[in-house]
Amino acid sequence: MKQTILITGGAGYIGSHTCLEFLAAGHDIVVFDNLCNSSLESLRRVKELSGREFPFVAADIRDRAALDALFKTYAIDAVIHFAGLKAVGESVEKPLLYYDNNIAGSITLFEAMQAAGVKTVVFSSSATVYGDPASVPIREDFPVGATTNPYGRGKLIVEQILGDLAISDPEWRIALLRYFNPVGAHKSGRIGEDPRGIPNNLMPYIAQVAVGRREYLNVWGNDYPTPDGTGVRDYIHVVDLAQGHVKAVEKLAAGPGVRIWNLGTGCGYSVVEMAQAFEKASGHPVPYQFAPRRAGDIAQCWADPALAERELGWKARRGLDEMCEDTWRWQSLNPQGFEE
């Protein structure tokens, strides 16, 4: 059934790829974003790639009046809530900004939804809510709560707020999607991850080394209890991740309640394996040097994605080589990101 989906944060990295997947699945979308970490160019390219027009509202999720006006103008069936700040280190320096933007902003959004009678939401949560897991792979029923920074705590608190909302009003249909490490870009090379300043995350940093924007990669720690001593993560292609959102919205149509799904591949790769895979995919060297561990990092983290496969009929299909090739295409075609 065709639905009209509000996508907050839809101009961002995961949001822009998700816009394309909802359009490809035949749904209508409305994008809401204050562009604090993205540009209009990403949406222009989503329109170009999809051949579809859609409304864009430039506003902040903390702006209740802007949200009320949107819900009056468009008959929204479901909300995909990506809007938020995501830099872990910055969240330690500016906790109030993160709590205000990510928690107060989410509350304002949910209030506006409730007032408009729109009670279906998919929330971008994170594997960070599991903290340092006692074992891997991580299942959805593993304990949550040992988060190490305001960003992660914000994700957990919004999950809990949504849980309480579902208790207070059993009409709510809520999906908490716990992403592992999103990487990669659309096949076209037209949209991708465009971090501002020095990238915090591994894949965009590696890509900037390969393209010659940075000299070498610092590998944060080579004394972890992992096969090669460097950190192991579950990297998931952003297009697989985006498709998981379409499946989640379709599943929520089946009934109310709170559902939690890990979105990961179930495979873990080390930092050194990532650098080597990127060299192979790009044909460019990725020199690296070992440096001390980064505060707050864990040794290893990967998903058990079986629940999503069973309940959503969703599975990540794109492997590591494709993640690196697609990142490289985006990076080499757009060495300065969306700034042409």
Which residues lie near ligand NAD (CB under 6 A)?
9, 11-15, 33-38, 60-62, 82-86, 101, 105, 124, 126, 179, 181-182
Contacts of 107 (CB under 8 A, 6+ apart): 161
Residue from 88, 109, 136, 277 that binds ligand WQD (CB under 6 A)? 88
The C-alpha atoms of residue 330 and residue 336 are separated, in whole angstroms, by 10
Report, in Å, the least distance between residue 62 CB and ligand WQD: 20
Per CB under 6 A, does 243 bind ligand WQD?
no
Between CA 137 and CA 302 the distance in angstroms is 5
Cβ pair 62, 85 in contact under 8 A? no
In angstroms, give the least distance from the CB of 285 to ligand NAD: 25
Residue number with CB closer to ligand NAD (229 or 296)? 296
Catalytic residue from among 13, 98, 130, 151: 151
User: Which residue, 3 or 221, is less far from ligand WQD as judged by CB?
Assistant: 221
Quick one: three-class SS letters along the chain? Answer: CCCEEEEECCCCHHHHHHHHHHHHCCCEEEEEECCCCCCHHHHHHHHHHHCCCCCEEECCCCCHHHHHHHHHHCCCCEEEECCCCCCHHHHHHCHHHHHHHHHHHHHHHHHHHHHHCCCEEEEEEEHHHHCCCCCCCECCCCCCCCCCCHHHHHHHHHHHHHHHHHHHCCCCEEEEEEECEEECCCCCCCCCCCCCCCCCCHHHHHHHHHCCCCCCEEEECCCCCCCCCCCEECEEEHHHHHHHHHHHHHHHCCCCEEEEEEECCCCCEEHHHHHHHHHHHHCCCCCEEEECCCCCCCCEECECCHHHHHHHCCCCCCCHHHHHHHHHHHHHHCCCCCCC
Is 202 one of the binding residues for ligand WQD (CB under 6 A)? yes
Q: Which of 173, 186, 233, 318 binds ligand WQD (CB under 6 A)?
A: 233
Least separation in angstroms between CB 99 and ligand WQD: 15
81 binds ligand WQD (CB under 6 A): no
Minimum CB distance to ligand NAD, residue 144 (Å) = 14
The whole-angstrom separation of Cα 33 and Cα 21 is: 18
| Minimum CB–partner distance for residue 1 and ligand NAD (Å) | 26
Partner that binds at residue 88, options ligand WQD, ligand NAD, none, CB closer than 5 to 8 Å by kind: ligand WQD
Nearer to ligand NAD, 23 or 87 (CB): 87
Chain residues 104-143 in contact with ligand WQD, contact rule CB under 6 A: 126, 128
Give yes or no: 13 in active site: no
| Nearest residue (CB) to ligand NAD, 25 versus 35 | 35
Q: Which is nearer to ligand NAD, 84 or 137 (CB)?
A: 84
Which does residue 294 bind out of ligand NAD, ligand WQD, none, counting CB within 5 to 8 angstroms by kind? ligand WQD
Measured from the CB of residue 84, what is the shortest distance to ligand NAD in angstroms?
Answer: 3
Residue 220 interacting partner from ligand WQD, ligand NAD, none (CB closer than 5 to 8 Å by kind): ligand WQD
Query: Which of 294, 306, 307, 309 contacts ligand WQD by CB under 6 A?
Result: 294
CA atoms within 13 A on the CB side of 275: 19
Closer to ligand NAD by Cβ: residue 290 or 322:
322
Report the catalytic residues: 151
- Residues near ligand WQD (CB under 6 A) are 86, 88, 126, 128, 152, 181, 200-202, 205, 217-220, 231, 233, 271, 294, 297
